[in-house]
Structure 1
């Protein structure tokens, strides 16, 4: 290795292909131990003279100035574990792209340490990052509140798992709006009159939200010790001791009594029974079953399918001619639409939860929760794919049952295909290569998209809107006499 002139007589002191710092890097990588490099001879030598390798390897201390060859400043990392960090005394001399890269690395390190994400099976930690838990976010925000009332309100709201509660309420409201309203002909104006009551919808929404909040509070009361072992739940109020168990228990019972009572007196007894069943199954079956068997996921899917039945039974109760019993509202042939909507929510739980649980499977395992994501990852992926395919017959069944127009089967097909595509990737890679994250976000957007399409294409909705805007065609005298003869 030698330093030679560039071959240009006008640049006698320029280097050919290598600089001093680059030579240090090459020597550090080749040598088994760090070798101090001498420059005592080189300091008095012209660059036009050749230098041998032994002059470079002399063991005299390095006495370079901080700005020497600053354009080639770099951080040398040796794969064998021996490293040298060469940093400029003045950070302004660091090139902008390296400053941006260093800033990004610092941000990634800070976010990974705060969220507790870890690298599993050689996968980068950023691939397994999940959206923050709403209860944990509210708990953190409550500590920043200066008002005691706002702090307590945030803590109680975090007990209800607000994102999950909002989802439960929306899945109860959609079937209420999709219920096929019977046509009542007003003899005076001859138009279809509206039917569903806003007051009933208000009681349904409030009661369902309170039942969901109660079930979630009981869930947190049961497992604070195991919540502390998981990064997404360790910030919950009971884990951090920001709320006593006595107050949490009082909140859970108060929400249950108020919610079930509101559904009983404001809607009908069948909906109240379903609301109580939702609390009992989630807090009494699903939560303890998590530590016993992987069948807990199916129990949780049953809980997710109850809110659509609540919305359907609430709408059916307004037209019930009998006592409004469970059999009358949900076990008649015309109630098939409610069960199809419940099946849609039941099936949706699997691609959503299987993808979500895979990302934190090691935490589930450490906490002792029996989940397919770590017990049998291959089966976990197969279940997600199987229930993703089930959306095709469910959407077609809604059309055949007269709940939506047949166009719904066509417009929902691309969304279902997208979900199945992500589920196939999840099945092939068993969650790796970003497939778990892709299926999770596909499931997040799939459900609201399907629900909105169903509401927009409700059976006969647009024809009724058209009639209400344009009006019924006027009848001729002969037509009026015909209908009068028919009535006689």
Structure 2
């Protein structure tokens, strides 16, 4: 029995567009928004914002220290965050629109996607191409001019990987899921590199932002690992529920090519969350309490993944793992944000009015 899945946001927006008068602004805007896959785009943007917020900026919330050494202490810029979120949103919209442009024929064969705008003729191909190119160009420009060239390159690379590699690979090999997972892991690197660029002490090149010699880039890669790993316990049970549709559409997904491996992969990457969360503590991104508070959440996901593996998707195990993954990621992110390294110590000092530690030069 197929697993019941939540309605596709793009399809629902396409329904809204279809009900609007022909050639109306509402119809056009709803159809264009549908092309952007808004739910997926929101997830992409949030996965970039969280690492940006968790980047270990010295003297965070330490007003006294900031006042006395404002020129020497880096800080995160709201303007940079605005450009990061805007650029990431536009890049995601471009990639998703290109994805729909590439596969309207397969979308038409699947229940969750057959009502998308290009399948239903709510937009012309020309309009969709212009939308994709416009969003892509504007997004990359926003990241380049408002953040830094490294983040702009990552945004462009994500468009290329999603539209140019992942999408066509779906017809060729089940390895497409791993390529898609890489796409999911890049936005956290974008957020981390954006924050690192704000406090760069060197030339601010990609080497310093992503491969710093002092190991300060490790946090970004750990977050990328979290989002990479999350794709599997999320997508594997989702795809299992519509495996026959994937097969009929000619899309080579592991759910029907090798169902047993599909379940093993979901379990394997669910387990990876435990060391990744501990790694964030060891890297000084979060307090060690995060390892404790995240453990029950990770064990819950692992438990559902074990059921999915044991029952091969049957007995409701696919649906249970899918919904566990939906809740798992935001809970982990919120826990990490709430336990940022040193945050509550600095908050307490700020509230209690405790003096900041200062360095004094001793006179001989």
TM-score normalised according to structure 2 size: 0.94
Partner of 2:31: 155
Counterparts of 1:400 and 1:272, CA distance in 2: 29
Counterparts of 2:160 and 2:46, CA distance in 1: 21
- Aligned pair partner of 2:8 in 133, 138, 148: 133
Could you give the per-residue CA deviations for residues 221-254 of structure 1, whole angstroms, max 9, x where no partner exists? 0000110000000000000111000000000000
Q: Report the alpha carbon displacement of residue 468 of structure 1 after superposing the two structures with TM.
A: 1.6
- Aligned pair partner of 1:168 in 41, 44, 63: 44
Partner of 2:75: 195
Counterparts of 1:474 and 1:352, CA distance in 2: 45
Change in CA separation of 1:417 and 1:169 when aligned onto 2, cut-off 3 Å: same
- Aligned pair partner of 1:226 in 82, 106, 120: 106
Answering whether residue 54 of structure 2 is matched by residue 178 of structure 1, we say yes
Partner of 1:409: 291
Change in CA separation of 1:485 and 1:443 when aligned onto 2, cut-off 3 Å: closer
Change in CA separation of 1:376 and 1:414 when aligned onto 2, cut-off 3 Å: same
Answering whether residue 308 of structure 2 is matched by residue 436 of structure 1, we say no
Structure 2 counterpart SS, 1:486 = coil
Q: Report the alpha carbon displacement of residue 178 of structure 1 after superposing the two structures with TM.
A: 0.4
Alpha carbons 2:58, 2:74 under 8 Å: kept = no
Matches for 1:9-20 after TM superposition, within 5 Å? none
Counterparts of 1:474 and 1:197, CA distance in 2: 23
Structure 2 counterpart SS, 1:431 = coil
Change in CA separation of 1:474 and 1:405 when aligned onto 2, cut-off 3 Å: closer
Matches for 1:207-356 after TM superposition, within 5 Å? 207-332=87-212, 333-356=215-238
Change in CA separation of 1:439 and 1:472 when aligned onto 2, cut-off 3 Å: same
Counterparts of 2:340 and 2:115, CA distance in 1: 42
- Aligned pair partner of 2:282 in 384, 400, 409: 400
Matches for 1:461-476 after TM superposition, within 5 Å? 461-473=343-355
Could you give the per-residue CA deviations for residues 442-479 of structure 1, whole angstroms, max 9, x where no partner exists? 0000000000000000000011111222223499xxxx
Partner of 1:425: 307
Which fold has the larger relative contact order, with Cα–Cα distance below 8 Å and residues 6 or more apart in sequence? 2
Structure 1 counterpart SS, 2:20 = coil
Counterparts of 1:470 and 1:193, CA distance in 2: 22
Q: Single out whichever of 181-190 and 364-373 deviates more from structure 2.
A: 181-190
Could you give the per-residue CA deviations for residues 314-345 of structure 1, whole angstroms, max 9, x where no partner exists? 00001112221110101011100000000000
Could you give the per-residue CA deviations for residues 396-443 of structure 1, whole angstroms, max 9, x where no partner exists? 000000000000000001110110000000000100110000000000
Counterparts of 1:286 and 1:214, CA distance in 2: 14
Partner of 1:33: none
Alpha carbons 2:349, 2:355 under 8 Å: kept = no
Matches for 1:84-123 after TM superposition, within 5 Å? 123=1
TM-score normalised according to structure 1 size: 0.71
Structure 1 counterpart SS, 2:217 = helix
Counterparts of 1:187 and 1:156, CA distance in 2: 44
| Aligned residues: CA RMSD | 1.9
Change in CA separation of 1:399 and 1:188 when aligned onto 2, cut-off 3 Å: closer
- Aligned pair partner of 1:453 in 323, 335, 357: 335
**Where do 5+ consecutive residues of structure 1 fail to align?**
1-122
Q: Report the alpha carbon displacement of residue 194 of structure 1 after superposing the two structures with TM.
A: 7.6
| Between structures 1 and 2, the one with greater helix share | 2
Counterparts of 1:160 and 1:149, CA distance in 2: 17
